[in-house]
């Protein structure tokens, strides 16, 4: 049976990546863990700022229209696609984690399931980004169609 190394050197270098002289080896589980935490935090921050912006603009129709038109610009389209990617990864990886933790008894299938989930996320991201990119039904800021815009 393999006995883990409990020496002081092991404790000091275990968290350092192998490419930098340490003994820690990154694998799909650690990648999944880090990305799941990052997307979870990003979604919480997005939800907070989204509710804040909608609440501040909700009482004034002109302000709400300006916010709506601003959300249709190219930089927000990129952010919308990144939001969609974060939602996809966090949701599908969460279901993968439930399968790995509670359903599957064989742990060697977790890596295959991770790459299957990544493939599904990429396919759904491509399919879902097309309508997001094609949905440009507003004019740019400063046009005469916006209340308070340039005449």
H/E stretch holding 117: helix 110-134
Residue 98 covered by a domain: yes
Residue 10 covered by a domain: no
pTM for this structure? 0.71
Q: What is the CATH number of the domain that holds 130?
A: 1.20.1300.10
pLDDT-based confidence at 106, cuts 50/70/90? confident
Residue 113 covered by a domain: yes
* pLDDT reading at 8 higher than 80: no
Highest mean pLDDT among 53-67, 81-95, 101-115: 81-95
Residue 142 covered by a domain: no
Distances (CA, A) of 40 to 89, 93, 129, 131, 147: 10, 11, 20, 24, 37
Residue 72 covered by a domain: yes
Residue 8 covered by a domain: no
- Classified as helix, coil or strand, 16 is coil
Residue 145 covered by a domain: no
Tally of domains in the chain = 1
Closest C-alpha to 112, from 123, 17, 104: 104
Q: What is the mean pLDDT of residues 65-73?
A: 79
Closest C-alpha to 89, from 123, 57, 60, 55: 123
Q: Write out the residue range of the structural domain in which residue 128 sits.
A: 27-134
Q: What is the mean pLDDT of residues 73-77?
A: 82
Residue 58 covered by a domain: yes
Determine the Cα–Cα distance for residues 13 and 20; give it in Å rounded to an integer: 10
């Amino acid at each position: 049976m393999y006995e883990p190394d409990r020496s002081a050197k092991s404790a000091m270098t275990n968290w350092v990546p192998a490419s930098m002289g340490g003994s820690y080896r990154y694998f799909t589980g650690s990648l999944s863990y880090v990305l799941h935490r990052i997307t979870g935090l990003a979604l919480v921050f997005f939800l907070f700022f989204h509710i804040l912006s909608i609440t501040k603009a909700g009482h004034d129709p002109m302000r709400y229209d300006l916010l709506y038109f601003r959300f249709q610009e190219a930089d927000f389209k990129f952010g919308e696609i990144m939001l969609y990617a974060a939602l996809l990864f966090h949701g599908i990886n969460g279901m993968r984690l439930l399968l790995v933790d509670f359903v599957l008894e064989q742990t060697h299938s977790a890596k295959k399931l991770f790459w299957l989930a990544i493939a599904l996320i990429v396919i759904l991201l491509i399919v879902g980004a097309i309508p997001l990119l094609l949905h440009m039904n507003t004019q740019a800021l400063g046009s005469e169609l916006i209340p308070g815009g340039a005449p």
